[in-house]
Copies of this chain bind each other. A is one copy, B any other.
Amino acid sequence: MARFAVRMEVDLPADMDPDAKADLLAREKAWSQQWQRSGEWVSIWRCVGEYANLSIFEVRDNEQLHEILWGLPLFPYMTMQVTPLATHPSDIHA
């Protein structure tokens, strides 16, 4: 298992067709929730005041993380920052 933090910023065109946008966001939510339910997408939080989220992933390996992120319907509108994580020696749960 490999843990990663991913910061995703979304930049949608302001003049996007409302129906196309609603459909896109519905598919985005479904994709995210499918991977939350299967356990790889552990946490997702909104960054206050930004169209952005900070997420924690626990995946099999780099390949699986890329498959999840690349498959996001919003991927073409996103800028991602991926940080590989390891156990911290001060972690009381480790």
Contacts and interface: CB of A to CB of B under 8 A. Distances in A.
Protomer copies: 10
Chain B CB count within 10 A is highest, among A69, A77, A86, A87, for: A86
Nearest to A32: B90
Q: Could you say which interface size class chain A belongs to?
A: 35 or more
Interface string A51-91: 10110100001110110011000011100101111111111
A57 to B, nearest CB: 10
Given A54-B85, A82-B84, 13 more contacts: A3-B62, A5-B54, A29-B89, A32-B90, A36-B92, A46-B66, A47-B86, A48-B69, A48-B84, A51-B76, A62-B84, A65-B84, A65-B86
